[in-house]
């Protein structure tokens, strides 16, 4: 053996020993500090209040990490139950059996909590997919399970978690109430569903978000978001002169999603402007159909102020009848313009005079042209 070949063998042996030692150290570390199992996480969570908005107030009650890990582990346990081929029953039955065990465990460990704050689940059976809603404390998520046709390019027969929501990461709020609704399938037959989240803090207004998904089992499977709409609800739905519009409708090929949002014409901690969006689900591609407003006469004022604060002349012009009015708005509207109260006077058919009762006082004239309201005059008193 030459010196060079001997050196190569020696170097390879040293690398093998070092890497093997490294793997043994990693394995020892993993064995000495295993990740907490489901029961341990429930016990850890039991030290928290059942509701972060309840007394005693002022405590550090951020249990987001524990709750998230619990629900992720629950999803893994559901996957294992679905793939337990020796277990009897349908996929839904196997998933329910796995979740019922976790539910009973939570009832035992979190017995000091109100029943509604313990772990609960709901299964939406949308063959060939299962959508599972899980709620715990004030945390709600959904997980989607299915059998993608392929795994690494090979035929697949195993259930997988093919997707989940990310709403909890978008909102720093408590009480994410979650409702699931099956949706009309397109010609391809892929399962579709709508998740409605209601987000609320310990005080103040309430957020709403609609998240519609479709799962395609072809190839490696893909969970696609087909509708996303966010909005707000007020402390109640009784804003004088601003009745909400539309109802949530999820049955059939045409669905409607109602919501409100805060704008410059709000006079207190309730959004005045509301809308209802319609979507057509009859084809494989979901299409937006229409949007209706509760106060289309005041919408151009709110939108013109919104874009004027951003000095976006082109966007302001879209809500004005002339370039002169649009430029005046862009020049003169200050940041955070709003109204302490708003007075609307009908001056003629299809024409209104609108005044903001705050200092400085703004006044607008709006007219309806070809079925659409626009700002035709603006002044500051």
* Mean pLDDT along residues 89-116: 94
pLDDT higher than 70, residue 17: no
* Mean pLDDT along residues 272-290: 97
The percentage of residues in the chain with a pLDDT greater than 90, rounded to a whole number, is: 63
- Minimum mean pLDDT range among 13-22, 94-103, 255-264, 350-359: 13-22
Contact 294, 275 (CB under 8 A): yes
CA dihedral for 357, 358, 364, 370, sign (positive or negative): negative
* Mean pLDDT along residues 352-366: 87
Query: Would you state the pLDDT for residue 35?
Result: 59
Return the closest-CA partner of residue 143 out of 123, 127, 114. Answer: 123
Q: pLDDT of 234-267, one tens digit each? A: 777 778 889 999 999 999 999 999 999 999 999 8
- Minimum mean pLDDT range among 7-21, 87-101, 121-135, 284-298: 7-21
Distance CA 57, CA 88 (A): 48
Return the closest-CA partner of residue 143 out of 78, 221, 210, 212. Answer: 78
What contacts 142, CB < 8 A, 6 or more positions away? 131, 132, 133, 134, 164, 165, 178, 180, 195
Query: Would you state the pLDDT for residue 27?
Result: 35
């Amino acid at each position: 053996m030459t010196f060079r070949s001997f050196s190569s063998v020696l170097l390879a042996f040293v690398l093998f020993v070092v890497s093997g030692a490294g793997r043994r150290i990693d394995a020892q570390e993993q064995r000495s500090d295993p990740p907490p199992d489901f029961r341990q996480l429930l016990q850890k969570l039991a030290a928290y209040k059942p509701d972060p908005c309840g007394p005693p107030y002022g405590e550090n009650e951020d249990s987001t990490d524990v709750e998230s890990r619990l629900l992720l582990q629950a999803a893994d346990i559901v996957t294992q139950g679905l793939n337990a081929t020796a277990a009897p029953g349908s996929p839904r039955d196997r998933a329910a059996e796995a979740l019922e065990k976790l539910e009973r465990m939570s009832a035992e460990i979190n017995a000091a909590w109100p029943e509604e704050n313990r772990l609960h689940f709901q299964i939406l059976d949308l063959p060939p997919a299962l959508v599972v809603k899980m709620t715990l404390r004030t945390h709600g998520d959904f997980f989607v399970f299915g059998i993608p046709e392929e795994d690494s390019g090979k035929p697949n027969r195993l259930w997988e978690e093919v997707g989940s929501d990310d709403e909890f990461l978008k909102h720093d709020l408590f009480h994410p109430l979650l409702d699931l609704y099956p949706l009309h399938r397109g010609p391809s037959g892929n399962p579709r569903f709508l998740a409605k989240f209601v987000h609320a803090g310990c005080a103040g207004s309430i957020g709403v978000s609609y998240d519609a998904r479709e799962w395609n089992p072809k190839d490696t499977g893909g969970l696609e978001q087909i509708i996303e709409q966010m909005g707000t609800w007020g402390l109640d739905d009784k804003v004088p002169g601003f009745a909400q519009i539309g109802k949530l409708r999820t049955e059939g090929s045409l669905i409607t999603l109602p919501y409100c949002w805060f704008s410059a014409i709000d006079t207190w901690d309730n959004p005045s402007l509301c809308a209802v969006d319609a979507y057509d689900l009859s084809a494989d591609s979901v299409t937006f159909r229409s949007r209706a407003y509760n106060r289309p006469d005041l919408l151009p004022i709110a939108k013109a102020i919104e874009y004027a604060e951003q000095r976006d002349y082109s966007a302001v012009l879209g809500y004005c009848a002339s370039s002169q009015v649009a430029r005046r708005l862009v020049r003169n509207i200050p940041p955070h313009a709003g109204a302490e109260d708003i007075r609307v006077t009908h001056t003629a058919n299809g024409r209104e005079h609108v005044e903001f009762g705050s200092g400085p006082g703004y006044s607008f004239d709006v007219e309806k042209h070809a079925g659409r309201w626009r700002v035709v005059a603006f002044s500051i008193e």
